[in-house]
Structure 1
Amino acid sequence: MTMLAEQSGVSKNTVSLALKNDRRISVETRRRVQQLAEKLGYQRNPVLSHLMAELRKTKVPKFRYTIALLNAHPDSLAMKRHPTIAAWLTGCRRRGESQGYHFDTFWLHDPEINGARLARILRSRGIRGAIVVGLFNQNRLPPQFDSLWPQIACVVTGVRTHEPTLSFCCVDHHALMLEAVKQVLALGYKRPALVLSHTVDHLVEGRFSAGMWFGQQALPTAQRVPTFDKADGSDSCFQRFKKWLERHKPDVILTLHRDIKIWLEDLGYKIPRDIGLVDLEHNPSAQEWAAMEQRNDLSGEAAVDMLISMLYNNESGIPESPRATLGSSHWVPGVTVRKQR
């Protein structure tokens, strides 16, 4: 490193940044240092690099860069109001701040901004990377930001986007369903059923229903209850649910819709005596439910790790081969299910 610095006429810190292809160093200097390093046969020492990384962990991180948090939810206050988004943000901020990164927040439905304007704002603040949170009901980003994605490094939390498809981090919904079905079968339930909005299942490309279908293959055909599409909370939907319940007679329902408990109680069912209930996303407001803990905060942490790696390697734009990090979930026992006789 010292020899490279002396022969290229720059500091050792500049050499280090140039070898990492850091944009803070001019293109000309980066090229000169990299060509000299290749000529001299310079190679990074992986053991030393690991040691330095461990030493840095013992220090209080200093401010490095700012990351943009892009709220894609129609509600400008969703980051505070929606528990899933809040969990993603908790993980993002925890991991980002531990590495010395700060966050600036932008709302993608703000009528005052579009892709071109947001790109200018990010450039003026020296922001090169962003994390998208809050995509619900659809997995397509607002079209007015199409010009932004080729210019920055970006990771999405929660879902895989289309047009464009960006790298993303989320819970493994398919594995989550398999584990939930496994747990209720272990309790002795014979007719598990999924109650879920088609919109939600479509958002995750059918991974909930696919996991349910695969989990039901362990059951005789006659015990495989079809999924009920809970479109909304209307009376007509309630009446469809009542008919579905009477016809298929599930003994445990797996759902994201906690108002199903009210519907069942209105129909005279006692939980868990008459039917079991499982929440597919453990929620602080329903601690008593048996549930699957998605650990969305870990998806937030993974998104920051992925973005930092992209920034470190000077990657930006729409990736040819988007990356995906899928997180695990685990079973949380609760009073809404019980061991079957």
Structure 2
Amino acid sequence: MPSNTPTQKDIAEAARVSGSTVSRALRNDPTIPSETRERIMRVARDLGYRPNPFVNANMLNVRRPNRKHTKAILAYITPIPLNEYFAIVPQREISYNGACKRADELGFQVDPVPIKENGVYLSSRRCTEILLARGVQGIVFAMFENPYVRFHLDWDRFAVATHDFRMVQPRFSEAGSNHYLNTQKILRNLNHLRYKRIGLAIPARADRYTQGAFSAAFCLYRDTQPKVNQIARFTPSALKDWNRENFLSWYKKAKPDAIICISDDILSWLQDAGVSVPQDVGLASLAWEREKEPAGWSGIYQQHEMVGAAAVQLVVDQLMLNERGKPRYPKTILIDGEWVPGSTLCQQGL
């Protein structure tokens, strides 16, 4: 029985162009004028054309200029070389490994591409040249300290996603930790453990990086509690104000019985002041790390490997659908964290 599914040949006849032009237009090939691409895509939509993702996956390898590689290449862009990047924040390596594992499962290879040399960003033209020379069709941007960094690559040539940060301009699909839900999860566990006067102590910079998710979840919970248990946050805006003296001043005034934090500084400041954890005050980390486990921290593990994998999945999904460039409606995947109990909290509610 003949199929009624329209083909690229049908699109070519309806649009009065060649089959190769249709093929390239449906891949968003920038060598085809934008008006022609839009007209061909409009014809394809009108005919009800749907690309075959299995064919697309195979063609990704066929079209690569460098055939000696057995897998299509995804660039993993970092601001500095990987070894330096991992040394600053160890969990970044976990995200990278998660990205590599997922890429391998999907038949891709991840190539790290640092775009900063001697403290200076590569030019957009040079960066695009490097990516194209390597046969890159998909890009994962890892965490950048400054989300306001602007890139001007030839975006129409690539499928792009970010992880653990939101690129302000241009906006792409992103994968990250569900910081709002993770904060709520900590609060629920502290409530279950019978903590009443719960405080939040994080640098304002960390909160801004999550678009205020930490503070939003905390304030919503705090404002539903009895007035006697409502504690002001310790979230200094200036980094110079994030110090032992200011924190201890807040602690003595607020008198929390548990503190949600993100920095090891809090534990050392309390211990130096003779405050016992968890006997005098409990601590729960918004960024639990495996490296903290010997110290017995309680907190949220942000599932870094799953975040890296999700970013790769976003890029591969675009490639399968022949989508390139800046998306009209970027997608966001948020990964829920895992609660990890530890000795920085008293198990008084169990």
TM (norm. structure 1) is: 0.79
> Following the alignment from structure 1 to structure 2, what is the Cα–Cα distance between the partners of residues 5 and 197?
55
Residues 44, 148 of structure 1: alpha-carbon distance in 2 compared, 3 angstrom cutoff: closer
Which residue does 1:56 correspond to in 2?
Answer: none
Shift of 1:166: 1.6
Residues 54-203 of structure 1: pairs in structure 2 closer than 5 A = 63-72=70-79, 77-79=84-86, 81-110=88-117, 111=120, 113-136=122-145, 138-141=146-149, 143=150, 145-149=151-155, 151-203=157-209
Shift of 1:74: 9.2
Residues 170, 45 of structure 1: alpha-carbon distance in 2 compared, 3 angstrom cutoff: closer
Amino acid at match of 2:114: W
SS of 1:265's equivalent? Answer: helix
TM (norm. structure 2) is: 0.77
Which residue does 2:244 correspond to in 1?
Answer: 238
> Following the alignment from structure 1 to structure 2, what is the Cα–Cα distance between the partners of residues 278 and 5?
57
Asked if the contact 1:291/1:333 (under 8 Å) is kept, the reply is yes
Amino acid at match of 2:142: V
Which residue does 1:335 correspond to in 2?
Answer: 343
Shift of 1:84: 2.7
> Following the alignment from structure 2 to structure 1, what is the Cα–Cα distance between the partners of residues 315 and 112?
16
Asked if the contact 1:73/1:133 (under 8 Å) is kept, the reply is no
Shift of 1:147: 3.7
Which residue does 1:325 correspond to in 2?
Answer: 333
Shift of 1:210: 0.5
Q: Are positions 1:298 and 2:313 aligned together?
A: no
Shift of 1:102: 1.0
Deviations 1:6-29 (A, max 9, x none): 999xxxxx99x95994589x98xx
Q: Are positions 1:285 and 2:291 aligned together?
A: yes
> Following the alignment from structure 1 to structure 2, what is the Cα–Cα distance between the partners of residues 274 and 216?
21
SS of 1:281's equivalent? Answer: strand
> Following the alignment from structure 2 to structure 1, what is the Cα–Cα distance between the partners of residues 25 and 312?
19
> Following the alignment from structure 1 to structure 2, what is the Cα–Cα distance between the partners of residues 321 and 197?
31
Amino acid at match of 1:209: S
> Following the alignment from structure 2 to structure 1, what is the Cα–Cα distance between the partners of residues 345 and 157?
50
Shift of 1:281: 1.4
Q: Are positions 1:211 and 2:217 aligned together?
A: yes
Asked if the contact 1:76/1:107 (under 8 Å) is kept, the reply is no
Amino acid at match of 1:89: Y
Which residue does 1:263 correspond to in 2?
Answer: 269
Asked if the contact 1:70/1:130 (under 8 Å) is kept, the reply is yes
Amino acid at match of 2:177: V
Shift of 1:237: 2.2
Segments of 5+ residues of structure 2 without an aligned counterpart are 13-18, 58-68
Deviations 1:110-138 (A, max 9, x none): 237221111112122221210011222x3
Count, aligned residues: 313
Segments of 5+ residues of structure 1 without an aligned counterpart are 9-13, 54-61
SS of 2:211's equivalent? Answer: coil
Residues 112, 296 of structure 1: alpha-carbon distance in 2 compared, 3 angstrom cutoff: closer
SS of 1:102's equivalent? Answer: strand
Which residue does 2:15 correspond to in 1?
Answer: none
Which residue does 1:58 correspond to in 2?
Answer: none
Q: Name which of structure 1's ranges 66-75 and 204-213 shifts more when overlaid on structure 2.
A: 66-75
Asked if the contact 2:115/2:127 (under 8 Å) is kept, the reply is no
Residues 207, 101 of structure 1: alpha-carbon distance in 2 compared, 3 angstrom cutoff: same
Shift of 1:179: 0.7
RMSD of aligned alpha carbons: 3.7
